[in-house]
A = this chain, B = another copy of it.
């Protein structure tokens, strides 16, 4: 499965896998795809360094990349305390009342929240980049707009390609104007921050909007048929994320969450502002229902909402409070019904792709050499 982009990056298959887990990223790259480590949770640069060392030791020299979350708009001189002070008291009460209703225990004294707003702030992302540019990363992706111009320059100086996610053709054109190299077209069905346009419509629109830049299709991809469909739509590769969450190499730290993911159907996700203040697809839970309930206080804008719920989400995850327990994931969750190794998921994608190509050739009346 070779496109110009996969050749440029020196990978066997045009399959990109985004994951917060170094073991998954390395395994995707070893399998012949392109592993991308999500950096948002690394508030301590030493942790990121440790995990990049681990990937270096386990990727067998295959290329990999890093995904950061740099807000497009710079907020000068604003501290976390300033943002904290902007959160209305009623919203804090709503969080506490909801947690109390479900009997969610508190974190231990001094225990850090695993989900911190700081990871969303440009300064932290820059610290991550200072670490990452010491490693031979081949791709830098940004999940929140185009990275700042100096970051793009710094990446290009090191021969690192820059990718950015887009949920509309307009958004994608802005990335192109900013000088990025690859656009990830993030369809409505995708996990995490998404727009309203489904992949079937979005992918070709973005391909046309940023031509000749390569486009990766994201959203709804968990089988070789879906890989073939995304490539038929003009993408130069696929950007997957959800399907790696239930691999044996993934470390969700919560058997209950893994069980919920394996049990969920494609209709069990919701595009909610509950997690960050911007619409992000995630498992629908009683937590997202509470935030989306018109009778409640509603969500706050980014970055307030993320800061408001940070500790609550950590508590829910740590104590595995099932009705509230969720995670960003796409509609493809319905296909994630058993735990398997990254290699097995990868093989399923590549073999399924070949079968889909066979089928499309039969339909087109072509007797290819298959």
Contact = CB atoms under 8 A, between A and B. Distances in A.
Interface of A: 1-3, 14, 168-169, 187-189, 195-202, 204-205, 219-221, 223, 225-226, 228-234, 265-267, 294, 330-332, 334-335, 353-354, 356-357, 359-361, 363-370
Contacts of A225: 204, 232-234
Please give the count of copies of this chain that the complex contains. Answer: 2
A57 to B, nearest CB: 32
A232 B361 CA distance: 10
Contacts of A353: 364
A352 to B, nearest CB: 10
Contacts of A361: 357, 361, 366, 368
B266 A1 contact: no
Contacts of A14: 363
Given A196-B267, A198-B220, A201-B220, 12 more contacts: A168-B266, A189-B200, A197-B331, A199-B200, A205-B335, A229-B229, A229-B233, A231-B360, A366-B368, A366-B369, A367-B369, A368-B369
Nearest to A228: B232
A198 B196 contact: no
Contact of A201 (B1, B331, B366): B331
Contacts of A219: 198, 200
Given A14-B363, A233-B229, A201 B357 contact: no
Given A357-B364, A369-B366, A200 B228 contact: no
Nearest to A370: B366
